Amino acid sequence: MFTGLIEEVGTIRNIKRGTKSCVLTVGCKEILKGTKVGDSIATNGVCLTVTELGSDYYTVDVMPETLDRSSLGQLQTGSRVNTERAMAADGRFGGHIVSGHIDGTGTIRDVRRDGNAVWYTIQAPEPILQLIVEKGSIAIDGISLTVARVDHVSFSVSIIPHTLQETALAFKRAGDIVNLENDCIGKYVAKLIGAEEEDKAGKGMTREFLQRYGF
């Protein structure tokens, strides 16, 4: 589990591409403190397992499912990526609950400066937009952010200077693809509501059914 507070911006040093998968080598420093092989590091919001460690890099395998659902397949040598170690049990929860299992990708449609802030408007698929609420949380490339606006085709976030300084979002431009993870609490609520509707339609195990048979 992660919090969406980026610890370090790493740099892609090498990409070893297979037929459907790849191996990424990420150059970094601070993120390696206390890290060991087998640990999880969120890389641009995707939870990946460390397979090799050096003094200034880590290596991860990226499977076909991850490449299909994320923007990792578009990375190139020299690309900047957000990194975060899994949350320690005694750590502060400064962002929101981020699993590192992204729901899909979005496309940056507009980047606009507004005083000391920068607005990013991101077009996203309908299933993702349905779970986004104004003033709710969303993880963009692993960054915990607050949704400022949302409509039927896109949503917007307003980024403070500190976030731009500490993350790779500053390198993103209109047309770039970003990884998106909905708030997991919202996903569970939507799932439960859907199950309740099925029960009302007689497609599931209802309270009335249990009472009828003595439970």
Res. 9: pLDDT tops 60: yes
Mean pLDDT of the chain: 91
Give the pLDDT confidence score for residue 204 in this predicted structure. Answer: 53
Res. 31: pLDDT tops 90: yes
DSSP strands (E only) in 117-199: 117-123, 137-140, 143-150, 154-159, 177-182
Give the pLDDT confidence score for residue 93 in this predicted structure. Answer: 75
Give the pLDDT confidence score for residue 205 in this predicted structure. Answer: 54
Res. 201: pLDDT tops 70: no
192 φ/ψ sector (left φ>0, alpha ψ -120 to 50, else beta): alpha
- What average pLDDT does the segment 182-188 reach? 89
In tens, the pLDDT along 85-126 reads 998 877 777 789 899 999 999 999 999 999 999 999 999 999
Q: Specify the higher pLDDT residue, 173 or 214.
A: 173
CA angle 16, 81, 109 (to 5 degrees): 110
Give the pLDDT confidence score for residue 138 in this predicted structure. Answer: 97
DSSP strands (E only) in the chain: 8-17, 22-27, 40-43, 46-53, 57-62, 80-85, 104-114, 117-123, 137-140, 143-150, 154-159, 177-182
Q: Which two tokens stand for residue 115?
A: 């005083």
Q: Is 15 exposed, middle or buried (0-12, 13-18, 19+ CB in 10 A)?
A: middle
Q: What is the reported pTM?
A: 0.88
